[in-house]
Structure 1
Amino acid sequence: MRKKPGNDVYVALIVAVVQVVLSQGAAWGQRGYREPLDSLAYVLLLVGPVAILARRKFPVISTVVTLLATYAFVVGGYPYGPVFLAPIFMLWSLILGGRRLIAWILSGVTLAVFVIYASLGGDHGLWAFHTLAITAFILLFMVIGELVRIRSERRAEHQRVVEEESRRQASEERLTMAQELHDVLAHNISLIHVQASTALHLMDEQPEQARTALTTIKSASKEVLGEMRSVLNVLREGAPRSPTAGLDRLDELVTRSGLDVTLKHVGSRPLPPQLERAAYRIIQEALTNAARHAPGSRVTVRLEYGTSELGVLISDTGATKPAVLAEAGSGNGIPGMRERASALGGTLTAGPVGNGFQVEAKLPFPEETS
């Protein structure tokens, strides 16, 4: 039984009271057929409850002792009834404790003992039937014990599956956070680097443009700190997760990029957070690549809200200035964008178009469930 050790004392006390008190009533009801209770009978009635206290350390031995006391009580001619409570509990404990074979062997031995007792003339007629009925009652509780065990195992298996699924989701969440941090850091640090290089180059000749670049650096550094706090807050227990980026912040992203960007929206509709975040990050990475490899270019960002998918197109006209960070970066930008699209069941293509470069993603809307 899945109980705390301290509960065994209460169980033993309850079983002892039930067996002793109710056996007195059974003795009164069976007077003339069974022997009245005497000192030996009371001792045998208390053997089972005492054995309950030792069932965790000696489960098989305590069950055997309980059954032997029960056999002696019945063979001694004492009244039927409450004496069977302790052996039922002990056999049930064996089943729930994983000792099913031993429990069924002992129940078979119990059946054999009662059948032999009845056949040898210990009881006749109704009493023989009564003996077999009591045995059937014990077997019924054995079956109930098996059903409880099966249900308990299924519950444990379900709990294990739930915990594994929770760990899997936690692992996926960590990967998502890592990707979020990568995208945030890559974009903002690249932007800071580009603007810092611009500021250094123009500081003497065009101080106003240098001031603009420094303002962009300040904004980008504040942005990266805010994004990191938003993502890392997920690690705090009970901290609610909110999308760290969405298309409502697209104008801010374009302003910070330092590029000549034209935004086009074709249609409009609400988007699920994961799709909106993926679209934002794809645009962010494409603008980062344009700032690295095509400074001075004109960039067009087009969002097309179709009936079944969101189309995202980012294209630039090619560099008109030397690329400050042309060789910088991890080389994971385009594969990362493609992974984001694939995770939603979409596609992403990227490659040169004329003098410039183009990134096109198709992100399907999730199917609505009724």
Structure 2
Amino acid sequence: MSPVRYAVLRLITAVRRRTRRWAASPPALDVIAALSCFSLMVLDVPGLAGDDNSLTGLTATLVLGAGAATLVLRRRAPWVPYAVALVLLGWLHELTLIQFALYSLGRFRGRAAGVLATAGYVAVAYALFNLPGWPERSADTLSSFLSLVVPIGVLAAGVGIAAYRHDLVRELAAQRARTAVLKAVQDERISVARDVHDLVGRELTVLSVRAEVLAVRARGGSYEKDFDELAETARRAHQMLNDTIVHRADERTATPGLDGLAALAAEGMAMGSPVVVEVADAAYGLSPLRQAAVYRVVQECLTNAAKHAPGERVTVSIAPEGPQSPEGPGAPHGPVAPGGARLRVVVRNPLPAAAPVTEPVSSGTGTLSMRERVAAMGGTLTAGPGDGTYEVVAVLPAGRRPAAG
């Protein structure tokens, strides 16, 4: 196949796809409805031009075209074609547009609007039906009215209401399908989390028991305290695993806030890294959700510092960001408006003079997890070395503090 022919075929295929997509779109369907209504009303043009209504074939066509054109508003403003249809009903005795208008009201506004519009149409039509000249009066006027005008309106509105209910059922089915997918994903996550809990929990239990055995064997020796601390750490890690996976899956526990930073600092001290935490008083007014995010960021930073810079001093600074906030890397320039107040979390530690003797166990996703957590709160996080230190800076919206009382 030649390149030119191939390019032409691709162009034709793309045009067909775009045409099919446009034809299925709501605006295209509205235009098709207007054209369909106009094509039906055009059949009445010869009769309208012959009646005593001051219209010629051309002007009657233009009037009917203008009336049909209002159907492009049938989704946004279905009462507009309805009102125009009533005018054409009284002026030209035209029943086609009112059928489309009643269907549109039932289709896009539901049963109440459809019933109300049908009642209004029947009342107006009955009043017009009893006027001289529309339609040809006969002895059985009421029976003619009931057999012609009323069924037209009721049928059109009824079909529209049925379509409206069908749309509701279809949307409900789609919503249920989406909910089922989300539930399946959530169940799978809980299943994976519990598998992790079972596997990792077993290893932590083995570690705890083994450390306790070694502590008994080293009773009275210089390593007894170290083995006891190791066993206690394993038990605490197992408890944290339970709290994080099992209890959270049941929604019965919450992440600590800023009050839990003291315990994190104590753990860092126990691991051999001095930790200094400075928290501004105003930071304690944050919502529990933001405090939990700050707690997780600081926890991950202290864990990384213990892995990659053991024994180095770690400083943690948490304070609202504004004109009086200390200068430092990552600080924005200029004052912060009261409505856009932010919280700045800075964690620093010196870079170690030499690499650790043993390579730390790390998944390499800690910084990414912190960044995603802060981004979910509408903030930013930067991390990296500079001037002999490793610094993590998180800036997130402070939010509105809860009112007192």
TM-score, length-scaled by structure 2:
0.47
The 1:273/1:319 distance shift into structure 2, 3 A limit, reads same
Distance 2:188 2:399 in 1: 21
Percentage of matched positions with identical amino acids: 24
- Give secondary structure in 1 for the equivalent of 2:240: helix
3-state SS in 2 of match to 1:126: coil
Shift of residue 340 of structure 1? 1.5
Distance 1:173 1:142 in 2: 46
Distance in 2 between residues matched to 1:322 and 1:243, nearest whole Å: 36
- Aligned pair in 2 of structure 1 residues 242, 226: CA closer, same or farther (>3 Å)? closer
**Aligned-residue offset at 1:245:** 4.0
CA distance in 2, matches of 1:137, 1:277: 65
Deviations 1:8-54 (A, max 9, x none): xxxxxxxxxxxxxxxxxxxxxxxxxxxxxxxxxxxxxxxxxxxxxxx
The structural deviation recorded for 1:210 is 4.1
1:224 aligns with 2:224: no
Aligned position for 1:272: 287
Aligned to 1:339: 372
Q: Secondary structure at the match of 2:302?
A: helix
Match of 1:134 in 2: 147
Q: Which has the larger radius of gyration?
A: 1
Which residue of structure 2 aligns with residue 143 of structure 1? 156
**Secondary structure of the equivalent of 1:326?**
coil
Runs of 4+ with >6 A deviation: 171-181
Aligned pair in 2 of structure 1 residues 153, 339: CA closer, same or farther (>3 Å)? same
Residue 254 of structure 1 pairs with residue 276 of structure 2: no
**Equivalents in 1 of 2:185, 2:291: separation in Å?**
18
How many Å apart are 1:224 and its aligned residue?
A: 2.0
Q: Is the 8 A contact 2:345 2:394 kept in 1?
A: yes
Aligned to 2:301: 286
Q: How does 1:1-370 map to 2 (within 5 A)?
A: 125-127=138-140, 129-156=142-169, 158-159=171-172, 162-163=175-176, 166=179, 205-233=222-250, 240=251, 242-257=253-268, 258=271, 259-266=273-280, 267-306=282-321, 308-319=341-352, 323=356, 326-366=359-399
How many residues align? The count is 236
Contact 1:184–1:224 (CA under 8 A) maintained in structure 2: yes
Q: Which runs of 5+ in 1 are unaligned?
A: 1-91, 97-123, 234-239
By how many angstroms is 1:138 displaced? 2.0
Which one-letter code corresponds to 1:218 in the other structure?
R
Asked whether the equivalents of residues 320 and 344 of structure 2 are also in contact (C-alpha less than 8 Å), the reply is yes
Question: 3-state SS of the aligned residue for 1:357?
Answer: strand
Q: Which amino acid aligns with 2:229?
A: T
Contact 1:219 1:256 in 2 (8 A): no
Q: Cα deviation per residue 1:227-273 (whole Å; 9 max; x = unaligned)?
A: 2222232xxxxxx4653443332222333343321111122343334
Structure 2: unaligned runs, 5 residues or longer: 1-102, 108-136, 322-337
Give the distance between the partners of 2:257 and 2:370, measured in 1 at CA: 16
The answer to whether the 8 Å contact 1:344/1:363 transfers is yes
Cα distance, 1:156 vs. partner? 3.2
RMSD: 4.6
Deviations 1:102-146 (A, max 9, x none): xxxxxxxxxxxxxxxxxxxxxx92325413423322222212312
Residue 113 (structure 1) aligns with: none
